[in-house]
Amino acid sequence: MKIFITGSNGFVGQHFKNYCRVNSLEYTAGTQDHYGNLAEPKSEAELQNIRESFKGHSAVVHLANRAHVMGESQCKPNSDTYSKIIKIYNEINVHGTLMLARAARDAGVKKFIFISSIKVNGEENNLNAYCETDPPNPQDPYGISKRDAEIELMKLHTPGVFEITVIRPPLIYGPGVKANFLVLQKISRLPLPLPFLGVKNQRSMIHVKNLIEFILCTINHPRSSGETFLIADENPYSLHQMISELRKCFHVIDWQFYCPTFILRLFFKLLGKDHFNKRLFDNLAIDPQKSKNLLNFSPKYSLKDFSSME
């Protein structure tokens, strides 16, 4: 088995390459040198070069994408800025993805693993954890582009010939992670009391090694063909639990005190950081039962393993 990894220089891609090296798995570290800028149309000669790059591979793991950018979801849907943002996401996450998938199919690749996002399901769930049977409800251009790519990819699915699998992870954490989780790490390292003792929300995340092992599981398991999976660590975390586990890893005394959540929300709103409220205090939980029932997959790692990853 030989795997072609697109976006191999990204956060997950770097970890995937290292995992393959450690476990003696054959892979190609795909970059723009192989497939160019995904936002740009390709000539027939360029497409042929991409097909040549894919030849001899059993699977393509498609990690390359235009990632979510904080604040873009705040743009008004009818504005020119919003239209431009939608266009950029479509060019890379939809049209670029389909171009690579067709090239992989034409090169004889058997499996195409598409790393989508839980944002296809939505931004929060206050009653039940998200599962695969929930109707898609993306709320921003990134989530919309991932949903549209999923729909178009499944049209290419041909059992036994060219098989598509879609994976929707939540926030992915591990060494080198940036954005929201990096902020959480910085907060956790502060040797100060924090007001999160009473925050009992439920947010799913996934350890990067759990994601990589699940990707490999879908490549090897015949029952992953044509399926969509929501995948996460075994249990969701409250903000209070996240801070506690990270402080243990960083050897910082876990001093947290109670403050009503509505006061915390008001505090961030007055600071002009209202978007933090969703990410810190709302629920976004995933039910990964399908991956267990269909593929017999159980995630091994959790936040408790974070220190061993650094």
- Our CA angle for 45, 46, 51, nearest 5°, is 95
Classify 61 as helix, strand or coil. Answer: strand
Reading phi first (left if > 0) and then psi (alpha if -120 to 50, else beta), residue 226 is in left
The DSSP H or E segment spanning 219 is helix 208-220
Cα–Cα distance, 263 to 129 (Å, whole number): 26
Q: Residue type at 29? A: A
Q: Residue type at 5? A: I
Cα–Cα distance, 266 to 272 (Å, whole number): 10
Tell me which of 35, 89, 142, 237 is the catalytic residue: 142
Q: Please, which residues have CB within 8 angstroms of residue 108's CB and are 6 or more apart in sequence?
A: 54, 55
Q: For this structure, is 82 an active site residue?
A: no
Q: Residue type at 249? A: C
Catalytic residues: 142
